[in-house]
Chains A and B, each alone.
Chain A
Amino acid sequence: MTVELGPLLTEEERAAQEKRLRDIWRTPSGWRYWTSVNNSQIGLWYGCTAFVFMLFAGLLALLIRLQLAVPDNDLVSAEFFNQAFTLHGTVMMFLFAVPIFEAVAIFILPSMLGSRELPFPRLSAFGYWSFAIGGVFVCGSIFFNAAPNSGWFMYPPLATDKEQSGIGADIWLLGLSFIEVASIAAAVELIVGIMKCRAPGMRVNMMPLFAWYLLVVAGMILFAFPPLIAGDLLFEMQRMFDWPFFDSARGGDPLLWQHLFWIFGHPEVYIIFLPAIALMAMIVPTFSQRPIVGYSWIVLAAVGTGFLSFGLWVHHMFTTGLPQISLAFFSAASEAVVIPTGVQIFVFIATMLAGRVIFSTPMLFGAGGLAIFIIGGLTGVMVALVPFDWQAHDTYFIVAHLHYVLIGGMLFPVTAGIYYFYPFFSGKKLSDRLGKIAFWLMFIGFNVAFFPMHFAGLRGMPRRVYTYPEEMGWDWFNLISTIGAFVFAAGFALVLLDVLRPKRNVPASPVNPWNAGTMEWLNEKDENWGYRSIPVVHSRYPLWDQPDLRQQIAEGRFYLPDAETGHRETLVTSVLDGKPLQVLRVGGSSKVTMVAAFMLGGVFISLTYEWWWITILCAIGTLISILYWLWTGTAQIPETENRNAGMGQSFPLYVSGPASVGWWAMFITMVGDGTAFASLIFGYFFYWTIHDDFTAGAAGPGMMWPLAAAALFIAAWLAMMAARSVNDRDRTATTRLLLVLALALTLCGTAAGFMGPYTHDMEPTRHVYPAVVWVLVIWTSAHSAVAIIMQAYCLARSFAGRLTGTYDQDLRNVVLYWHFMLATAVGTFATIGLFPSLR
C-alpha cells in the first residue's frame, strides 16, 4: 500500500511548525498545571490517585488480617472492623479496580490509536476530579468513625436501618453515585474515541486488541452502572424520606436491592477483569515477538464475555429462596461464560508457543496472574453450581474465590502493566532484579494468604466475623493467612519502592525498549502533542511492519503537522475503515471542569448531611458552570468551513448529527440513562409480582392525568422534530417559535404528570406502591427539567447567532435527547396510568 506523503520541509519550516504545535499543546505551569485537560496528565493523575486509594485499602486489609490472626483477638473493635472490611471492599472495587482501567485507557489509548487526543478531553478532566473528590470523601469517613459498615454490597434491612448503619451508608450511596458519574463519563469518552478517533487507515480488523477490550468494557459500563444508580436513588429515598422501597412491612422488598446491586455487581467483575486481560493481549505478543494468534478469537472472547456476564447476577443470590428454575438459568449462564474466558487463555498460550518467549518481569507477573486466576475460575465453576453454593455461601470459601479471581485477574496483570509501561511515561525501566523478587514474594504470599481460606470456609468460617473462639478449629488457617498477607504486602511494597525510588543513575531506555509492535511506543514522552503528525497505518503492528513510520511522523509528513489555526486539533475517521472525515477541535486547559466537578461534589456531599440550602446553591453552581463550559467550548462555529489537513487533503471543521462526535456522546449517555430508567420500571413490576395486589388497595394516579401528560410530551417531541426540520431550511423565526411551543408543552406535560399522584393523595411513606409511582414521576420530571434547559439553551444560541441552518449541532443533539425523553415519558405514564387497570 502506498501513501502520498506530504512534502519534506526545510529545517526552519519544521521548527516553526513544531513551535506552534508545542505552544498550543503546552501543559500549563505553576498551579495552573492542575487545569490541564490533556490525556497524559489526566491519565497520570487518575492512575496515581487510584493507587493511593488502593494502598489505603490494602492497609485496611492488613488490619483485618491482624485482627483475625488469633482467636478472641481484641486488637480492634467490632464496629471498627465492620467499617474496615466495608471500606476495604468498596475502595478496592470502586476506587481502584475500575478507575485504574480508566486511567490506563485515558493515558495510553490516544497513542495506541494514533490520535492526538481523545475527543472530549475536558470530560476526562471532569471525570477525574469527580472521582478524586468522591474518593477522598468516602475514604476520609473512617477517620471520623463514620465509614459505611454494612459490607460493600450494603444489603437492606441492615443498611437502611439508621440506628445500625449511621451516616456511613449515606456516604457510601452518595459518594459512590458521584463516582459513577466519572465512570459513565469515561465510557462515553472511550467508546467515541475508539470508534471515531483512530489513525487513518486503522480499520476495525487492525485495531489493537486493547482497544477492542476497552470498547466492550465501556459498553458494559453503560448497562451495568445505571441499575446501581437507580438502586442508590431508591435506597437514599428510603433513608432520607422514609419511602419504603426495601421495607417489607410496607410492601417493599430487600431483594429488589440485591437484584439491582448485582445486575451491576456481576458485570463489574468483568469490567475489572477484561481491561487487565487486555494488557496481557498487548504484553504477550510483544514478549513472544510475533502477532497474536487468533485475533478474531480474542474479539469473540471480549464481546462474548461482555454479553454473557450480564446473565450471572442471580448467582450471588442463590440462597435467597428464588425458584430453582430461575437459579438454574443463571447457573447455566455462569457455566457458559467459562467458554469465552477459556478461549482467551488458550490464545495466549498458543501465541507463546508459536513465538520465542522472552521471560521478562511483565511476563512473569502476567503468567503468574493467569495461574492464580485459573484457580479462582475453577472455584468459580464450583460455586456457580447451586447445591455447592448453598454450602459455601457467605463463608471464607467465597472470600478465597473472589480474591483469586480479582488479584489474579486484575492486580497481577496491572502490575505487569506497570513494569511494561513504566518506560512509556518515564523513559526508564524498572529494576528486573527487584521485580523478580517482588513477584515471588507476591505470588507465594498471595497463595499462603488465600489458599487456606478455602479450608477455613469449608470448615464453616463465615465472612465478616470480627473474631472467633478457639474451639472452632479455624485458628491455624487464619494465622497462616495473616502471615501470607504480610509477605504479599512486602512484595507489593517492593514494587512501590522501585517505582518511587530516584532513578538518576538508571540509564535511559530506548524509545521502544521491548521492541513492541503497536503505536503507543512511538510516544515522545517530553512532548504533549501526542503525534508530531498523525500517521497513516496499514498494519496491526505498525512498528514491526512500517519501518519508516517514526521518521516520517517526526518529519511532519502525515496529517495535521501544523497548528497554524491556533487550536488543538485531531482527526475524526470512519468507524469501519478509518477513513479521515473531519478535523476535530478539542478543548484546551480550563478551570471550568474542575469548578463543575467541585460544585457537583458539593451537591452530593451536602445531600449526605441533609444541608438543603448548600445543596441547592451547589446545584445552581453546577448548572452555571456546565452551561458556561458548553457555551464557550462546544459547537463553536469555525472561521472556515474546511481545514487543510496536510497530505493535500482538506476536511470539514464542523459536522452535526450522527457524523459528529457530540451526537454520539449524547446517544451513549442516554443509553446509560435509559438503562437506569428501565431499572426503575423493573422495580415497579417487581413489586407487582411479589404481591397479590401491589397497590394494597390504595388509589393510583388515575388514567386521565398520566395519559394527558403522555400526550403533551408526544406533542412537545413533535414540535422539536418540526423545529429541527424547519431549521434545516434556515427559517430562523419559525424555528424559535417551535422551540418556545415545545418548551411550553414540556412544562404543561410535567405539571400534568405531577397532577396524577398529587390529586389522588398518594402518600409515598405509607406503602411502596405510591412511592414507586412517585419515583417514576420524579425521574421523568427531572428529565423534563433538563429538556427545558436544553430548549432554552437552543433558543439562546439561536439569538446569539450560534445556531443556524448549517451550524446546528446543538439542536440535533437536543432532538436526540428528546427521542429518549419521549421514551421515558411515555414509558412512565403508560405504566402508571394503564397498568393498574390492565393487570
Chain B
Amino acid sequence: MKSVIPREVETLWTLFTAPTVWALHFIVCYVVMAIYCAKPGIYGLGFNDFRWGLVVFTLLALGFIVFAGYLAWRQWGFGSDDPPHDAATGQDRRLFQGFATLLLSGLSFVAVIYTAIPLIILAECQT
C-alpha cells in the first residue's frame, strides 16, 4: 500500500519549509487586512469575516508546520540519537538535518501564533 506521507527526500530545501510557511502566513495576514482596512466592505464582507477567515488560515498554517515538524522528527530518527550529529557519515548528516528542521518548525509554530494574536484581540482596523 502506498503511504500518504511523503518519502524522505535528499535535499537541503526541506530545512526552509516551516519558516516559508511562516512567511506566507505573515504576508497573507498583512495583505488581507491592509486591503480590507483600505477598502472596507470589499466584496461585501466585514472585518469579522476576514478575521475568522484568517484564523482558519492560521490553523491550516499551524497544521502544515506540525506536519513538516513530524517529517523532520522522522528524519531525526524520532530522537533515537542525541546531537551533536557531527560524524562524517550520511546518517549523521540526515539526523542533523532532521533536528535542525524540527527546531525551525518549533520556532515557526511560535512565530505564527505571535502573528495571529492581533487577530484575536483587535476587533477593528483602528485606523
| Chain-B contact segment, one of A163-171, A307-315, A427-435, A791-799 | A307-315
State whether the Cβ of B45 lies closer than 8 Å to any Cβ in chain A: no
B15 near A296 with CB under 8 A, answer: no
List, in ascending order, chain A residues with CB within 8 A of B90's CB.
203, 577
A333 near B115 with CB under 8 A, answer: yes
Given the known inter-chain contacts A291-B84, A328-B118, A689-B34, please indicate yes or no for A303 contacting B16, CB distance below 8 A. Answer: yes
* CB contact list, B88-123 vs A, under 8 A: 88, 90, 92-93, 95-97, 99-100, 103-104, 107-108, 110-111, 114-115, 117-119, 122
State whether the Cβ of A644 lies closer than 8 Å to any Cβ in chain B: no
Which listed residue (B39, B104, B111) contacts A333, Cβ 8 A? B111
A336 near B110 with CB under 8 A, answer: yes
Q: Name the prevailing secondary structure of the A interface residues.
A: helix
Most interface-central of B12, B15, B118 (chain A CB within 10 A): B118
A576 near B10 with CB under 8 A, answer: yes
Which B residue sits closest to A334, measured CB to CB? B114
**Distance to closest chain A CB from B80 (angstroms):** 16
List, in ascending order, chain A residues with CB within 8 A of B119's CB.
325
Which listed residue (A201, A307, A540, A690) contacts B86, Cβ 8 A? A540
State whether the Cβ of A697 lies closer than 8 Å to any Cβ in chain B: no
Proximity string of chain B (1-34) to chain A, C-beta cutoff 8 Å, 1 when within and 0 when not? 0000000001110011001101100100110011
B34 near A300 with CB under 8 A, answer: no
- A339–B86 Cα distance when bound, in Å, is 25
* CB contact list, A107-133 vs B, under 8 A: none
State whether the Cβ of A321 lies closer than 8 Å to any Cβ in chain B: yes
Which listed residue (A332, A335, A340, A539) contacts B107, Cβ 8 A? A340
Given the known inter-chain contacts A204-B96, A300-B100, A329-B118, please indicate yes or no for A539 contacting B88, CB distance below 8 A. Answer: yes
* CB contact list, A329-350 vs B, under 8 A: 329-333, 335-336, 339-340
State whether the Cβ of A297 lies closer than 8 Å to any Cβ in chain B: yes
A325 near B99 with CB under 8 A, answer: no
**Distance to closest chain B CB from A18 (angstroms):** 29
List, in ascending order, chain A residues with CB within 8 A of B86's CB.
205-206, 291, 295, 539-540
Which listed residue (A205, A300, A306, A330) contacts B92, Cβ 8 A? A205
**Distance to closest chain B CB from A577 (angstroms):** 6
**Distance to closest chain A CB from B101 (angstroms):** 9
- A201–B97 Cα distance when bound, in Å, is 16
**Distance to closest chain A CB from B78 (angstroms):** 16
A-B contact count (CB 8 A): 138
List, in ascending order, chain B residues with CB within 8 A of A299's CB.
100, 103
State whether the Cβ of A233 lies closer than 8 Å to any Cβ in chain B: no
Given the known inter-chain contacts A291-B86, A329-B118, A339-B107, please indicate yes or no for A323 contacting B34, CB distance below 8 A. Answer: yes
B118 near A333 with CB under 8 A, answer: no
- A498–B8 Cα distance when bound, in Å, is 54
A336 near B125 with CB under 8 A, answer: no
A326 near B93 with CB under 8 A, answer: no
Given the known inter-chain contacts A321-B127, A332-B114, A336-B111, please indicate yes or no for A295 contacting B84, CB distance below 8 A. Answer: yes
- A575–B26 Cα distance when bound, in Å, is 30
List, in ascending order, chain B residues with CB within 8 A of A325's CB.
33, 37, 118-119, 122, 124-126
B100 near A296 with CB under 8 A, answer: yes
Given the known inter-chain contacts A324-B126, A328-B118, please indicate yes or no for A304 contacting B37, CB distance below 8 A. Answer: no
A205 near B115 with CB under 8 A, answer: no
- A107–B10 Cα distance when bound, in Å, is 31
**Distance to closest chain A CB from B24 (angstroms):** 11
List, in ascending order, chain A residues with CB within 8 A of B115's CB.
311, 329, 332-333, 336
List, in ascending order, chain A residues with CB within 8 A of B22's CB.
307-308, 311
State whether the Cβ of A157 lies closer than 8 Å to any Cβ in chain B: no
Given the known inter-chain contacts A310-B23, A325-B37, A336-B114, please indicate yes or no for A205 contacting B126, CB distance below 8 A. Answer: no
- A307–B17 Cα distance when bound, in Å, is 11
State whether the Cβ of A538 lies closer than 8 Å to any Cβ in chain B: yes
A690 near B10 with CB under 8 A, answer: no
- A204–B93 Cα distance when bound, in Å, is 7
State whether the Cβ of A500 lies closer than 8 Å to any Cβ in chain B: no
**Distance to closest chain B CB from A372 (angstroms):** 25
Given the known inter-chain contacts A206-B88, A323-B33, A323-B34, please indicate yes or no for A300 contacting B107, CB distance below 8 A. Answer: yes
Proximity string of chain B (21-57) to chain A, C-beta cutoff 8 Å, 1 when within and 0 when not? 0110010011001110111000000000000000000
Given the known inter-chain contacts A204-B97, A310-B23, please indicate yes or no for A1 contacting B88, CB distance below 8 A. Answer: yes
Given the known inter-chain contacts A296-B100, A576-B10, A576-B93, please indicate yes or no for A333 contacting B114, CB distance below 8 A. Answer: yes
Instruction: Give the 8 A-B residue pairs with the shortest CB-CB distance, closest first.
Output: A328-B118, A538-B88, A205-B96, A324-B126, A307-B19, A323-B125, A300-B103, A323-B37
Task: Sample 23 A-B pairs with CB under 8 A, ordered by A number.
Answer: A205-B93, A205-B96, A206-B86, A296-B83, A303-B19, A306-B19, A307-B16, A308-B111, A321-B127, A322-B34, A322-B127, A323-B37, A325-B125, A328-B118, A329-B29, A333-B111, A336-B110, A336-B111, A336-B114, A339-B110, A539-B88, A540-B86, A576-B10
B residues near A (Cβ < 8 Å) are 10-12, 15-16, 19-20, 22-23, 26, 29-30, 33-35, 37-39, 83-86, 88, 90, 92-93, 95-97, 99-100, 103-104, 107-108, 110-111, 114-115, 117-119, 122, 124-127
A residues near B (Cβ < 8 Å) are 1, 195, 201, 203-206, 291, 294-297, 299-300, 303-304, 306-308, 310-311, 321-326, 328-333, 335-336, 339-340, 537-540, 575-577, 689-690
